[in-house]
Amino acid sequence: MADAIIFLGSGGARIVVFKQIRASGGIWFSLQGTNLLVDPGPGSLVRIISSKHKLDPTQLDGILLSHSHLDHSGDVNIMIEALTTGGTKKRGVLFCPREAIEGEDPVVFKYLRSYLEKIVILQEKGEYEIKGVKFSCPIRHRHRGETYGFKFETERAKISYIADTKYFPELIPAYQADILIMNVVREKPSELDHLSLTDAKNLILGIRPKVAFLTHFGMTMIKNKPWILAEELTKETGIEVIAASDGMKYEL
């Protein structure tokens, strides 16, 4: 597959996820021949198997968890099972915050951990590499639990994924990139530790990527039609803004 980003799901927040108003499968990255799955929420395996893009979970090289909340990690165990062909092939790397495996409520089953080639614990400002693809966790997010976003450095582009977080100005220098992906749960600002549409606009204007994607929508975003909100942001910022949809593929 050519270098691409596939949005297996574009839903976030509790109601959207448990009603599956939008799917919650996470994001598949194919970069320089390496396949990575970011935040496999509930239904991730089903979304992969049924994808029109002919994705094969046994061809994954790594799984990246931004944090332990169920809408980001609900399918992490079955994806480890699939990646390793039921544990018959010791392969693949899991990148996750420490609390995902050592916290009060670890989300990765102990019996599956030995199936993987290794588990790498994420840290703020940590730099990582898997099969020639380099990425970092430039800053810890302000969210319940230990949460990180990812910044990928590829031959074609710099790609930033801002996971769940309350907005704070330091996100702008941390996530400078050509392609910006943001989890935008709320249409209007609130006290919740999630990005709103206003926050997304501030990030776009500060980072000025070539293209920005909005995803991980809560009910207020969905009710206000994300594709229309994205069109309005494009006009306001002068930068192409795209609202992700379930199954959307973007080729670099």
Distance of CA 211 to the CA centre of its chain: 16
DSSP 188: S
Single out the residue of 113, 87, 7 nearest to residue 55, CA to CA: 7
Q: Using an 8 Å Cβ cutoff, are 8 and 246 in contact?
A: yes
Phi and psi dihedrals of 45, rounded to 5? -60, -45
- The predicted-structure confidence for 118-169, as pLDDT tens digits, reads as follows 999 999 999 999 999 999 999 999 999 999 999 999 988 999 999 999 999 9
Write out pLDDT tens, residues 69-79: 999 999 999 99
- Reply yes or no on whether the pLDDT at 201 is more than 90: yes
**What digits encode the pLDDT tens for the residues 19-43?**
999 999 999 999 999 999 999 999 9
Of 37, 118, 117, which Cα lies nearest the Cα of 78? 37
Sheet holding 62-64, edge to edge: 118-121, 93-96, 62-64, 34-38, 27-31, 4-7, 249-251
pTM of the shown model: 0.97
Which CA distances in Å does 197 have to 109, 117, 151, 166, 218? 36, 39, 21, 12, 11
**Cα atoms found within 13 Å of the Cα of residue 49, Cβ hemisphere only:** 8
Residue 63: which of 86, 29, 89, 31 has the closest Cα?
Answer: 29
Q: Are 218 and 12 in contact (CB under 8 A)?
A: yes
Q: What percent of the chain has pLDDT over 90?
A: 95
- The alpha carbon of residue 103 and the mean position of all alpha carbons in its chain are separated, in whole angstroms, by 21
d(CA 127, CA 145): 21
